[in-house]
């Protein structure tokens, strides 16, 4: 282990505003190409951008959630470059004076670590290029400008991460916060949440940072990890064989699991940043910041800690249950009704999540209500059904949305716990097996299991095992 890896992430998050950053076009995802465009986002001459207030509120919300200082004044700048998905020939971004700075986020790998957040700035998204692959359009490219002008925030970290795992944990945590705040869908496959990873290596103990490569094109958490791991190994190989890492942008090829050079890294001066003369400096009032601070929801980390403390559930459970705000709310509803935090966690985390995962659904779209899970737990507690029956009932609840009691009734599943009834059945079993009864009496106590089994058979598996055990002990020992 002669080398240490150093990673800093630049994360782009599309904000869930109804309209674009500087025009009133819709940001709805999945509409027909170029149906959500206007002269402003098409970059036609003579138009003027008007800033979307909601996007500023969202950006401030995120800045506060990750402990940034929000600058009273920030400045929109033009970042000039030519690309077919950028009709204006420049992107409106922020450069020397960003919206927010000096934040941090705590991640919980290896006992916890604080990752610095350098800055959060606002900018507009570019359009989308679609490269033809069919027999007729191979070699052609198409541009969809529905995305041009959608509001983004870019969250730039300090080079504080030291492994692909830390980078992944940081990224997941950022995404969870954005989704909790309800300001970004967090969807990596759709590109609403994207990440560029800057990776370098240096000899262990060295102060000076090594030359970094910037990795792009990673549209899942798994790929981010794979790309970084590959890149660290690649750079070590380069240095070990006497070469030098060059500053460049590399693309991750997920099919081959490697990164390949795309272009040498551009420098800030290539973009000729300058303040956009069409936009006044953005002044964020103390009132707006206070309003956003006041309405910040409980964030994932705080919720996780509260679950551990208030419900005395393991950290693992708390982590799973707070992975989404909807799931956490759902769980809390169940607990409110049952007053049994751990048992509730077992059902929500176990059976419910298992079934949801199987058909790729979200807890929001689930037919089982918290009240009906609570009802099921109650029935087990009362001995009305066994744990095994409950699982069967639960699957039915999941499929049909019916209440547990209704299912138990219609399937004739109720557990027999009535002592008089079971006592009669056991008497019958003993009378029907005089030989085994005699052997038991003569000392073959292993035959106890035989009598349990026969009673279960006689009740089609519906007898309450605890009650059988107790009754059988009485009767056999008598
Ligand atoms: P650039 O101007 O090339 O975009 P920045 O200084 O803006 O570089 O940094 C971009 C990102 O790269 C930040 O997240 C930062 O933490 C990270 N970074 C900077 N230098 C290094 C390095 N030597 N190794 C790894 N990451 C780095
Ligand atoms: Mg940069
Ligand atoms: Zn528009």
Does 350 sit in the ligand 1 pocket, CB within 6 Å? Answer: no
Confidence of residue 5 (pLDDT cuts 50, 70, 90): very high
Give me the pLDDT at residue 66, please.
97
Pocket test for ligand 1, best of 79, 171, 212, 273 (most atoms within 8 A of CB): 212
Question: Rounded to the nearest whole angstrom, what is the distance from the C-alpha of residue 207 to the centroid of ligand 2?
Answer: 21
User: What's the pLDDT tens digit per position in 87-111?
Assistant: 999 999 999 999 999 999 999 887 7
Mean pLDDT of 294-317: 94
Calpha distance 424→429 (Å, rounded): 9
On whether the CB atoms of residues 183 and 228 are closer than 8 A, the answer is no
Among all bound ligands, the one having the nearest atom to the CA of 197 is 1
- pTM for the full model? 0.84
Instruction: Look at 367 and 461; give whichever has higher pLDDT.
Output: 367
Domain boundaries, the chain: 3-292, 298-411, 419-477
Give pairs for 263-272: CB < 8 Å, separation 24+.
265/214, 266/81, 268/95, 270/81, 271/79, 271/80, 271/81, 272/78, 272/80
**Largest Cα–Cα distance of the chain, in whole Å?**
104
Is 413's pLDDT higher than 90?
no
Does 8 sit in the ligand 1 pocket, CB within 6 Å? Answer: yes
Pairing mode, if any, of strands 213-216 and 248-253?
parallel
Mean pLDDT of 360-368: 89
Does 98 sit in the ligand 1 pocket, CB within 6 Å? Answer: no
Calpha distance 476→478 (Å, rounded): 6
Give me the pLDDT at residue 422, please.
83
176-180, 194-198, 358-362: least confident range = 358-362
173's tokens: 């945590």
Calpha distance 371→385 (Å, rounded): 17
Give pairs for 380-386: CB < 8 Å, separation 24+.
381/340, 383/415, 383/417, 383/464, 383/466, 383/467, 384/408, 384/414, 384/415, 384/417, 385/413, 385/414, 385/415, 386/415, 386/464, 386/465
Confidence of residue 137 (pLDDT cuts 50, 70, 90): confident
Instruction: Look at 464 and 329; give whichever has higher pLDDT.
Output: 329
Calpha distance 345→336 (Å, rounded): 12
Atom of ligand 1 minimally distant from the CA of 159: 16
Q: Looking at the domain 419-477, which fold is it? A: Arc Repressor Mutant, subunit A (1.10.10)
The C-alpha torsion from 277 through 196 and 221 to 147, rounded to 10°, is: 30
Give me the pLDDT at residue 237, please.
94
On whether the CB atoms of residues 376 and 383 are closer than 8 A, the answer is no
Calpha distance 41→247 (Å, rounded): 33
C-alpha distances in Å from residue 401, one per residue of 224, 368, 409? 39, 5, 15
Atom of ligand 1 minimally distant from the CA of 160: 16
Mean pLDDT of 401-405: 88
Confidence of residue 166 (pLDDT cuts 50, 70, 90): very high
Question: Rounded to the nearest whole angstrom, what is the distance from the C-alpha of residue 283 to the centroid of ligand 3?
Answer: 23
Give pairs for 164-167: CB < 8 Å, separation 24+.
164/5, 164/7, 164/224, 164/225, 164/226, 164/228, 164/229, 164/232, 165/109, 165/225, 166/7, 166/107, 166/109, 166/113, 166/115, 167/7, 167/9, 167/197, 167/224, 167/225, 167/228
On whether the CB atoms of residues 369 and 406 are closer than 8 A, the answer is no
Calpha distance 327→344 (Å, rounded): 12
Does 6 sit in the ligand 1 pocket, CB within 6 Å? Answer: yes
User: What's the pLDDT tens digit per position in 222-237?
Assistant: 999 999 999 999 999 9
Mean of pLDDT over the chain? 92
Does 352 sit in the ligand 1 pocket, CB within 6 Å? Answer: no
Is 311's pLDDT higher than 60?
yes
Among all bound ligands, the one having the nearest atom to the CA of 93 is 2
Is 1's pLDDT higher than 70?
no
Query: Residue 419 pairs with which residues in a beta bridge?
Result: none
Atom of ligand 1 minimally distant from the CA of 214: 12
On whether the CB atoms of residues 52 and 20 are closer than 8 A, the answer is yes
Which residues contact residue 22 at a Cβ distance below 8 angstroms, ignoring those fewer than 6 apart?
40, 41, 49, 50, 51, 52, 92, 124, 149
Question: Rounded to the nearest whole angstrom, what is the distance from the C-alpha of residue 286 to the centroid of ligand 2?
Answer: 28
On whether the CB atoms of residues 261 and 234 are closer than 8 A, the answer is no
Is 383's pLDDT higher than 80?
no
Instruction: Look at 111 and 374; give whichever has higher pLDDT.
Output: 374
The kind and range of the H/E element at 101 are: strand 100-107
Residue pointed to by tokens 């027909």: 32
On whether the CB atoms of residues 338 and 344 are closer than 8 A, the answer is yes
- The SS3 call for residue 398 is helix
Atom of ligand 1 minimally distant from the CA of 268: 2
């Amino acid at each position: 282990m002669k080398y240490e890896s150093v990673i800093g992430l630049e994360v782009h998050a599309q904000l869930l505003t109804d309209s674009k950053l500087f025009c009133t076009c819709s940001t709805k995802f999945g509409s027909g190409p170029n149906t959500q465009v206007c002269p402003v986002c098409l970059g036609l001459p003579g138009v003027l951008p008007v800033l979307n207030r909601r996007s500023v509120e969202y950006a401030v919300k995120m800045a506060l959630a990750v402990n940034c200082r929000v600058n009273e004044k920030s400045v929109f700048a033009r970042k000039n470059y030519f690309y077919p998905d950028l009709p204006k020939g420049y992107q409106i971004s922020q450069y020397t004076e960003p919206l927010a700075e000096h934040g941090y986020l705590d991640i919980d790998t290896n006992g916890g670590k604080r990752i610095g957040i350098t800055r959060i700035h606002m900018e507009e998204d570019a359009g989308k290029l679609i490269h033809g692959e069919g027999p007729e359009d191979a070699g052609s490219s198409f541009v969809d400008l529905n995305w041009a002008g959608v509001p983004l925030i870019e969250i730039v970290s300090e080079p504080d991460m030291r492994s692909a795992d830390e980078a992944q944990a940081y990224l997941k945590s950022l995404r969870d916060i954005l989704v909790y705040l309800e300001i970004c869908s967090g969807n990596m496959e759709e590109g609403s949440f994207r990440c560029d990873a800057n990776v370098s290596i240096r000899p262990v103990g060295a102060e000076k940072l090594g030359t970094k490569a910037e990795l792009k094109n990673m549209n899942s958490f798994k790929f981010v990890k794979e790309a970084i791991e590959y890149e660290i190994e690649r750079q070590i190989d380069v240095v070990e064989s006497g070469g030098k890492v060059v500053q460049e942008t590399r693309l991750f090829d997920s099919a081959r699991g490697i990164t390949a050079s795309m272009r040498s890294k551009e420098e800030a001066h290539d973009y000729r940043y300058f303040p956009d003369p069409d936009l006044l400096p953005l002044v964020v009032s103390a009132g707006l910041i206070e309003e956003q601070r006041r309405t910040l929801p409980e964030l994932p980390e705080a919720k996780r800690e509260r679950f551990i403390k208030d419900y005395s559930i393991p950290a693992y459970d708390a982590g799973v249950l707070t992975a989404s705000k909807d799931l956490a709310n759902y769980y809390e509803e169940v607990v409110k009704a049952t007053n049994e935090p751990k048992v509730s966690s077992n059902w929500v985390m176990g059976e419910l999540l298992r079934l949801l995962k199987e058909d790729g659904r979200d807890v929001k779209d689930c037919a089982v209500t918290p009240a009906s899970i609570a009802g099921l737990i109650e029935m087990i507690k009362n001995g009305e059904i066994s744990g095994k029956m409950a699982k069967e009932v639960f699957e039915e609840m999941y499929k049909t949305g019916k209440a547990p009691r209704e299912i138990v009734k219609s399937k004739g599943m109720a557990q027999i716990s009535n002592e008089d009834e079971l006592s009669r059945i056991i008497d019958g079993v003993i009378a029907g097996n005089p030989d085994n009864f005699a052997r038991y009496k003569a000392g073959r106590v292993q035959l106890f299991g035989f009598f349990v089994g026969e009673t279960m058979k006689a009740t089609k598996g519906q007898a309450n095992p605890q009650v059988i055990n107790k009754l059988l002990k009485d009767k056999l020992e008598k």
